[in-house]
A and B are shown apart, each in its own frame.
Chain A
């Protein structure tokens, strides 16, 4: 009977659509799924950080405010106990100096974290599977406050005080002053 089979097909198609929507929601809105791929060709870069804050997979990687790639994986190096961040950079940006440094910045006031690359001066460029050696971790609020408190108490007891002493952790190199995080300008 033609009429009822059209109906059945319609009902079946609807149910299929519903489940597809459910599958989409489960995989695309939570951490439990596979994410739809991106077009274009990329090369992979890694960088190690003492503390990545709440940097997430999928966060942008930018240079001079321009999006050049994305964070693809976050792992923990169990020997050095550092965070290993893997990113993919767009192949057309293939002349980034190999001594560039990667820092973790915050988008806006309460936004998520992203990685900013600052160019170095080397003649060689980053290639597939290279590692960025110069990194700067995320500014963690608690550590900052701890530093501040330590600074104040050190000023009270003169001599060797200042930064670099107790309470500061999570920064390789000197602890940066709590300057406002640069907000990358969006190039429309």
Chain B
């Protein structure tokens, strides 16, 4: 039993090393890949613009729930006017980066993993190697960069829409004073909070994109292999995001 544990620990360590080396390869290739700006732009579109609908919808609903819950809770203490502060801090520091990352992993991450996995299964990656084109530069790096660029922007959009949703409930529906909503928020929220959110979403972007392209690139070249790569992407991304969330939060406090 100890042997089993030891073996899986060593295996996990090896996996971590693999993905770390993969990241180094990607970073080393980035300057060259930046020359192919059109590829990166296309991936920013695929990972970012195409995720807008789900991000904005989710942001709106999360903001509205924040508005409802926050209002009810603050009302018990007669402090409804603090709703703006509560919604803003909650969104900026925690909810936006984390929920955006989880949604990203589900929508864009799986798309990346299955795309690359399929290219692996149909020999497209081998064909590229045979044509003396480095598949990492041409296929992996643009997708990785696209995800890293898209994530913080998506999180910012999530925050903005979320605030609107909270405001919709709090001010328009529940009657919290609009001026107090915003002015108390402006007094309490600092640039530091926005920074925390940005740092988190940047790190989540790197993590989720890396996991997705890694799973796709090293997928088993079969139908089941691609499917497995997709599910592994979501699960691994979720765990890593939540773990990083704890790390960054404690670093900022």
Spell out A's residues near B (CB within 8 Å): 4, 7-8, 10-15, 17-19, 21-22, 24-26, 28-33, 35, 54, 56-60, 67, 70, 107-112, 114, 183, 186, 188
**Complex: A58 Cα to B181 Cα, angstroms:** 9
A15 touches B79 (CB 8 A): no
What are some 20 contacts across the A-B interface (CB < 8 A)? A4-B38, A4-B42, A10-B45, A17-B157, A18-B150, A18-B154, A19-B156, A22-B156, A29-B185, A29-B186, A32-B191, A35-B186, A56-B186, A57-B183, A60-B179, A60-B180, A107-B180, A108-B78, A108-B80, A186-B177
* Contact partner, B160, options A4, A24, A30, A183, Cβ 8 Å: A24
Contacts of A29 in B (CB 8 A): 88, 92, 163, 185-186, 189, 194
**A112-B154 contact in complex given A14-B52, A32-B191, A58-B182, C-beta closer than 8 Å:** no
**Complex: A114 Cα to B187 Cα, angstroms:** 14
Shortest distance between the CB of A141 and any CB in chain B (Å): 16
Spell out B's residues near A (CB within 8 Å): 38, 41-42, 44-45, 48-49, 52, 77-82, 88, 92, 149-150, 152-154, 156-157, 159-160, 163, 175, 177, 179-180, 182-187, 189-191, 194, 198
Residue of A nearest to B52 (CB): A14
B81 touches A15 (CB 8 A): no
Contacts of A24 in B (CB 8 A): 160
Of A7, A18, A32, A183, the most chain B CB neighbours within 10 A belong to A18
**Complex: A102 Cα to B82 Cα, angstroms:** 23
Contacts of B52 in A (CB 8 A): 14, 17
B152 touches A18 (CB 8 A): yes
**Complex: A108 Cα to B38 Cα, angstroms:** 56
A30 touches B194 (CB 8 A): yes
Contacts of B45 in A (CB 8 A): 7-8, 10-11, 14
B157 touches A8 (CB 8 A): no
B92 touches A14 (CB 8 A): no
B48 touches A110 (CB 8 A): no
Contacts of A111 in B (CB 8 A): 78-82, 180
**Complex: A31 Cα to B81 Cα, angstroms:** 17
Q: A19-B153, A21-B156, A57-B183 are in contact. List 15 more A-B contacts (CB 8 A).
A: A8-B42, A15-B44, A18-B156, A22-B153, A25-B194, A26-B191, A30-B190, A35-B182, A67-B177, A107-B180, A108-B79, A108-B80, A112-B81, A112-B184, A183-B78
